[in-house]
Structures are given as structure tokens and as C-alpha cells.
């Protein structure tokens, strides 16, 4: 899932505070002050974000969604640094990079992993699961994304029980709201996955995934060595011959011309 | 394969474009080249007809086909195809093209060009880093200078 909206300063501050709170040494108020100042957020924003964290942190478990929460927070801080909402160089940048890197989720992004395809030959394994060669498509069913969809949307931080509105403002939870009123909503949400037919699951074969990756080669207009190396490695891992590569390349270029 | 991205098109340019005329000597050289690269009659006909439409009709004759000199020199370089090193050189050139930054258009043009010489496979292997590591290209063979210009390995003015 890609972030396509510009983040509000309050959302960025909130993300940085989550990462800081969850870091080994706990929250670094000095760092957060610098972030707050850099984003031109006021004390009220800080207080609201901290209140949200305290209400939802759940002792660091975040209601069982810790990984997703931290992942999204890292994404937001990185995006803020990319679009210069936060400095991308200098001492603050270094500290933020440390903060983001400290809880990094894997370093280099493997597009094939993102597509749910892992190495292991033509019939290989996908998404970390061994695949029955008779049903290779099942390998691409990736419920992680769905889980994260439930958790996070493009607007707020925690979509299902978010306390951040579209503007990044923290909205106070109605703690006193009776559970009975929420129950039907929960039931509806839980019923949906059972009703979804299996046919609607994502279906991607290694060749299709490879072709999708190949199509990104010239997204910037130029083929570069890193892209060529990645594709060469993936051909070997997926058992795609060079002849198949050239055929796929040719048909891809013909389609796009 | 686009007609204008082929060595035979380049040969036609050499033959015609110096003075807007085609000599009998050039015709014989073109025949020789067709045989050397194994170009079918139908493919040659297609390239020549497109060349006439796009280039020849706009030329103004100013001589008697003096382009045959340059064409003869270039056709002579086709002996490179018999060189055992041609495979490795083509592969190295593919790698050099990729390292220099290869656009989709340049890939299509250069691969088409190399393919007509029977060197498309090693060139592609070099570009896409397939198989053994390609070596460095020390000097571009005269036969491949036109395509080296296309992919930016050599300045167009050189």
C-alpha cells in the first residue's frame, strides 16, 4: 500500500512519538521537541498525540497490531523526510534515521516479497509458504495486506478505531460509549471474510509477477544496473529462462508502444 | 524489427546519402552484404521500400553515387562477424550500454540492429546481465560504431 496523500504535521508528530515511545530507551522528549518545532506543531498537538498513544498503546501491544502500527509510523516518518516536512539531513535527520532504523523491518524492499513471491524455483515457495505445485496461485494469497487495510487507511492512523481525523487532529475517544452499540459493527466486519469467495483472492503467477517487476525497469526512462541485477537474480530464483525474459520483454514493449 | 534500426538501412544511407545517387558498385556491395548477414529477400525488400519512401524521395541528386566508397569500407568490416571474439565483444557492449543508461527506445533500436547481424543474443545477455560476467569493451569495432552511437557509447560527432 502506498501513501499518496501529504501527511498532516500532527500525523507525522504522532508517528514520531509512537516510534520514540516504542524505542528501547523510551520516549526521547528532546527529539520529539525538535520534531514538534520542525513541524510547527503546538503543545496541544503534542498533548493530543500523547493522549492517543496512552489510550491505545496497550502496554506496547497496540491491541495485537504492534507490527502494523510501527510499520506505518516508520513509513510516515520516512515520507515526511522525503517530502521535506522533516529535515532529510543534519542532526535531527540522523536521530530520526536512527529511530526509524532501530525498528526497521527488513532494509531493502524486495518487490517480489511485496508481490508475495519468494525465491525457490518455478514451483518454489511464495510469501514464505511452501507451495503445492498443483496450486501455485494459492501462494499469492496474502492476508497481511487485508489485515493492514483493516488497521490503517490512507487518511487516519488507525482506521478501525482511529482517533485521528482527516486533518490529523486527535479526536477524543468516547470511552463511556456502551459496548452494545459497537457490537453489531464488529459482527459485520467479522462476517465479511467468511463470505468472500476464494476466487477473489489475488492471483499472480511468477511470470506475471516478474513481468510486473520488469515493467518498472523503465519507469524512470532508463534501465540501471541495480534493476538489471535484480531481474537477473529473480530469473534464476524463479526458474525463468533468458529466452522467456526476452519474450516477455518484447510483448511488454509491444503492448506499451 | 524496425527497418531504420538495422545495419542494412545504415548501408543504404551510406550508399545513397553522400550525393543522392546509387552506383552500380553500391548495388553489388548491398548484395554482398545481404548474403553475409543472411538477410532474406523479403526483409531486404521491406527495408529498401521503406528507405525509398522515407529517404530517397527527398534526396536531390548531386553526383554519381560516390557513397560506394564509404559503403565498401563499412561492408569490409563485416568480417568482424567471423571473429571468435564477436560474441564477447557484443556482450561487453550490451553491458556498457546498460551501465551508460539505456532507455527503452535505445534498447529496441540497438537490439534490433544487433539482431540483424546475428549478435542480438550476446548483446541482450550483456544488457540484462545474463550468464557469465561480461568483460569491459576496450574498443568498439568499426562494424558496431553506428549502433554504439545510437546507444550513446560514442559521440554522434566522432
**Residue range B76-98, pLDDT digits in tens:** 999 999 999 999 999 999 999 99
What integer pLDDT is reported at residue A244 of this predicted model?
94
pLDDT tens string A170-227: 444 444 444 444 444 444 445 555 555 555 555 568 888 899 888 888 888 899 899 9
B157 is a domain residue: no
B57 is a domain residue: yes
* One domain for residues B34 and B96: no
* One domain for residues B12 and B58: yes
Residue at which a domain ends, from B41, B61, B78: B78
Specify the number of domains making up chain B. Answer: 2
Q: Is A248 on the interface with B (CB under 8 A)?
A: no
Q: How far apart (Å, rounded) are the C-alpha atoms in residues A73 and B1?
A: 49
Q: Is B64 on the interface with A (CB under 8 A)?
A: no
Which one is predicted more confidently, B24 or A3?
Answer: B24
Residue in A222, A229, A253 closest to B102 by CB? A222
What integer is the mean pLDDT of B45-73? 94
* One domain for residues B59 and B23: yes
What integer is the mean pLDDT of B67-72? 96
Give B109's pLDDT tier (boundaries 50, 70, 90): very high
* One domain for residues B101 and B143: yes
* One domain for residues B71 and B90: no
B60 is a domain residue: yes
Instruction: Give the three-state DSSP class for A138.
Output: helix
* One domain for residues B43 and B106: no
Contacts 24+ apart (CB under 8 A), A70-73: A70/A18, A70/A19, A70/A22, A70/A103, A70/A105, A71/A105, A71/A148, A72/A15, A72/A148, A72/A151, A72/A152, A72/A157, A73/A14, A73/A15, A73/A16, A73/A18, A73/A19
B97 is a domain residue: yes
Which one is predicted more confidently, A79 or B28?
Answer: B28
* One domain for residues B47 and B102: no
Residue at which a domain ends, from B78, B113, B136: B78
Q: Is B1 on the interface with A (CB under 8 A)?
A: no
pLDDT tens string A99-120: 887 655 544 455 556 555 554 4
Write down the ipTM of this complex. Answer: 0.86
* One domain for residues B90 and B63: no
Q: Is A185 on the interface with B (CB under 8 A)?
A: no
Which one is predicted more confidently, A216 or A154?
Answer: A216
Q: How far apart (Å, rounded) are the C-alpha atoms in residues A100 and A23?
A: 9
Q: Which of A138-142, A151-155, B32-36 has the highest mean pLDDT?
A: B32-36
Residue at which a domain ends, from B60, B78, B96: B78
Contact criterion met (CB < 8 Å) for B130 and A242: yes
**Residue B103 structural domain:** 86-150
Nearest chain B residue to A226 by CA distance is B99
Residue in B98, B130, B131 closest to A223 by CB? B98
Q: Is A130 on the interface with B (CB under 8 A)?
A: no
B156 is a domain residue: no
* One domain for residues B97 and B73: no
B155 is a domain residue: no
Q: Report if pTM > 0.90.
A: no
Average pLDDT, chain A: 67
- Give buried/exposed letters for A69-88 (b at 16+ CB in 10 A, else e): bbbbbbbbbbbbbeeebbbe
- For residue B132, pLDDT beyond 80: yes
* One domain for residues B12 and B61: yes
* One domain for residues B102 and B53: no
Q: Is A235 on the interface with B (CB under 8 A)?
A: yes
Instruction: Give the three-state DSSP class for A241.
Output: coil
Give A168's pLDDT tier (boundaries 50, 70, 90): very low
* One domain for residues B15 and B72: yes
What integer pLDDT is reported at residue A102 of this predicted model?
61
Contact criterion met (CB < 8 Å) for B127 and A224: no
B34 is a domain residue: yes
B158 is a domain residue: no
Amino acid at each position: 500500500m502506498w501513501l499518496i496523500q501529504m501527511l498532516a504535521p500532527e500525523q507525522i508528530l504522532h508517528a514520531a512519538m509512537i516510534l520514540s515511545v516504542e524505542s528501547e530507551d523510551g520516549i526521547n522528549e528532546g527529539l520529539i521537541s525538535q520534531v514538534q518545532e520542525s513541524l510547527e506543531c503546538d503543545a496541544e498537538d503534542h498533548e493530543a498525540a500523547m493522549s492517543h498513544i496512552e489510550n491505545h498503546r496497550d502496554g506496547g501491544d497496540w491491541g495485537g497490531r504492534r507490527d502494523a502500527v510501527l510499520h506505518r509510523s516508520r513509513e510516515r516518518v520516512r515520507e515526511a523526510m522525503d517530502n521535506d516536512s522533516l529535515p532529510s539531513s543534519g542532526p535531527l535527520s540522523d536521530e530520526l534515521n536512527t529511530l526509524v532504523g532501530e525498528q526497521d523491518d527488513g532494509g531493502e524492499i524486495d518487490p517480489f516479497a511485496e508481490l508475495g513471491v519468494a525465491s525457490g524455483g518455478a514451483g518454489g515457495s511464495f510469501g514464505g509458504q511452501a507451495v503445492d505445485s498443483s496450486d501455485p496461485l494459492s501462494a499469492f494469497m496474502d492476508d497481511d495486506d487485508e489485515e493492514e487495510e483493516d488497521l490503517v487507511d490512507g487518511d487516519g492512523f488507525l482506521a478501525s478505531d482511529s482517533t485521528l481525523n482527516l486533518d490529523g487532529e486527535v479526536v477524543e475517544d468516547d470511552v463511556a460509549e456502551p459496548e452494545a452499540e459497537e457490537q453489531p459493527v464488529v459482527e459485520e466486519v467479522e462476517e465479511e471474510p467468511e463470505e468472500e469467495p476464494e476466487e477473489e483472492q489475488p492471483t499472480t503467477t511468477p511470470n506475471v509477477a516478474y513481468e510486473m517487476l520488469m515493467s518498472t525497469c523503465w519507469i524512470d526512462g532508463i534501465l540501471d544496473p541495480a534493476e538489471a541485477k535484480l531481474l537477473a537474480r529473480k530469473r534464476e530464483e524463479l526458474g525463468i529462462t533468458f529466452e522467456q525474459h526476452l519474450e516477455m520483454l518484447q510483448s511488454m514493449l509491444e503492448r506499451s508502444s | 524489427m524496425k527497418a531504420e534500426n538495422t545495419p542494412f538501412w545504415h548501408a543504404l544511407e551510406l550508399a545513397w546519402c553522400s550525393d543522392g545517387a546509387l552506383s552500380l558498385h553500391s548495388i553489388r556491395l548491398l548484395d554482398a552484404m545481404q548474403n553475409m548477414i543472411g538477410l532474406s529477400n523479403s526483409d531486404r525488400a521491406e527495408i529498401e521500400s521503406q528507405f525509398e519512401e522515407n529517404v530517397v524521395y527527398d534526396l536531390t541528386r548531386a553526383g554519381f553515387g560516390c557513397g560506394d566508397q564509404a559503403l565498401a569500407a563499412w561492408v569490409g568490416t563485416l568480417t568482424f562477424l567471423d571473429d571468435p571474439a564477436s560474441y564477447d565483444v557484443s556482450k561487453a557492449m550490451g553491458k556498457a550500454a546498460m551501465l551508460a543508461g539505456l532507455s527503452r527506445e535505445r534498447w529496441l533500436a540497438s537490439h534490433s540492429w544487433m539482431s540483424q547481424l546475428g549478435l542480438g543474443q550476446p548483446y541482450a545477455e550483456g544488457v540484462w546481465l545474463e550468464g557469465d560476467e561480461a568483460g569491459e569493451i576496450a574498443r568498439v569495432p568499426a562494424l558496431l560504431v553506428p549502433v554504439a552511437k545510437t546507444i550513446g557509447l560514442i559521440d554522434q560527432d566522432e
